[in-house]
Each structure stands twice: as structure tokens, then as C-alpha cells.
Amino acid sequence: MRLLLTGCSGQVGFELQRALAPLGEVVAVDHADCNLADADGVRRLVQGTRPDVIVNPAAYTAVDKAESENELAAAVNAAAPGILGEEAAKFGAFVVHYSTDYVFDGTKEGAYREDDASNPQSVYGRTKRDGELALANANLRHLILRTSWVVGAHGGNFAKTMLRLAAERDSLNVVADQWGAPTSAALLADLTAHLVRQQQGSPASFPYGTYHCVAGGETHWCDYARYVIAAAIKAGKPMQATPETIRPITTADYTTPARRPANSRLDTRKFRDTFGLELPHWQRGLDHILQQIL
């Protein structure tokens, strides 16, 4: 089996290199190898590689910057998945793509299901939603995994930012009215490898489509930060801030160019029931990451 992996230097892409390696030949590329904003370059990459599977974690993820770079965000997040799907369809390749809780507006009281109406409130969210549609229209053999609050040992993320700031400052203000589930990049990679293996074994009966794939449980950003700092202190790392000096604030207190969904809870029942897989609590995945970086 030949697999084409984009975004190999990102949080999920880095873990996918490890997880996909036992399945076959992995052709791993990053921005330097192929700029996903270059439509012709994307086509040449797929045509030259002729993979059996394309795994696409690459994305324009600078949520605030996307508000002023909407054309670039659209090229990477919206157009490129459609192009990957079109090219893959020419020789029957399977495409795995990752999307986000930002396709929803965050106003629902409970967890979002796959069939809930999307209503993105930011350029990032709109381009990711458009990318889902473009891929689904281009290639029936697709799997879209919507996830949230990705965290990994490799690359930048919220947990590492909190560790850096808590080492520099004796108190922090962190938003406490946005809810979701920190999801391990390693978990996403391992689940992807399992699903790719399943699809390749029975492509005709594989349940293609869109699924929500996040860790179990829920929290808000402030308690997430407190959990990370508590772990760092327990590990003996010098921190100026403590969990007690991390103060909750509202979204209104912390304005950003792009609107964030207050509710990023994603219902994973369809994923669990369809594939017979459990999704561990977010603290388990985060603990493993913190062991690596502390």
C-alpha cells in the first residue's frame, strides 16, 4: 500500500508518520514539498505519487490571521481537499481528511451531532466547512474526521503556551466559558491507521462519510490550563503561576479577531457505534503528552 501524507510536520501529521508506517510506503510531504495553495502543484503531487490512500491533516490553522488572509485560507482549507478528492477519484484512492468544531456556531446546548446544521462564525470555520463539502462532492471514498482542541508533544499548542506563560508570570487570565475536549494528536493518528487498515481490507463495504472524533469528557480552557500547570508543578518544573492563580474570564473579556464557538462539544456516538472503538478521556491523552514534554 502507498500512502500520501500531507502536513507531516504538524501536530497530527508528525504522529501519523509513526502510526501509518506499518501499513506500507508513506510518502510524507509538508509545506516545503507541496504548497496546498498551489492547485496545480497539488494535482502534480497526487498524479506523481498515485497513492492508494491520501491522509490530509494539512490546513491553514491560524484562526485569527485567517480573518485577513481569507483567500489563502480558502485555497488551503477549501479548495485543496476538493482537488485531492478529484485526483484520488481518478484511480479509486481513499481520502482521509480532518475538520473542526469551528464549522458550528457553538450556540447549541448539547453536543453537536454530524447531521446538525453547520454555521461557521469565522473565516477559518467557513473554509473548513467548504473543504468538507468539496471533498465529499469530489470523491465518494472519503472519511472526514471532525475534531477539536488538538494537543500533541510535537508542535505548538495551548498546553505548551500555558506552560511557557506560567513559568514567566505569577498569574494568568484564561477563558472559562468555552467548552470542549482536548484531543491527543497521537490518538487521532492511531485511530486513523486503524480505519485505513479497515478500509483497505473491505473498500466496498466501508462506512464512508463524516464522523466526530474527539476524546471523552469535557472541560473549559481555564480548567484545562489549571490541569496542565498542576502537572508541571507535580513534575518539579519551576512555575511562577499556580492553579489557584489562573483566573477565569469570559470570552467578552478576551477579544480576538475571529469568533470562537462557546460550545465545541462533539457527539462521538456515531463514530463509536460504527467502528466499535472507544475514545478515552481527554486527561489520559494529555497525561501521556505531559510526560513527554515536562
Contacts of 206 (CB under 8 A, 6+ apart): 94, 141, 198, 199
Ramachandran bin of 172, using left for φ above 0, alpha for ψ from -120 to 50, beta for the remaining angles: beta
- Residue 139: other Cβ atoms inside 10 A: 24
The active-site residue out of 124, 211, 224, 227 is 124
Query: 24-37: b or e for each residue (b if 16 or more CB lie within 10 Å)?
Result: eebbbbbeeebbbb
Closest C-alpha among 26, 37, 61, 234 to residue 152: 61
124 catalytic per annotation? yes
First to last CA, the chain: 37
Which cell numbers hold the place of 144?
A: 472526514
Beta bridge partners of 26: 3
Among candidates 48, 15, 18, which has minimal Cα distance to 34? Answer: 48
Q: Which residues are catalytic?
A: 124
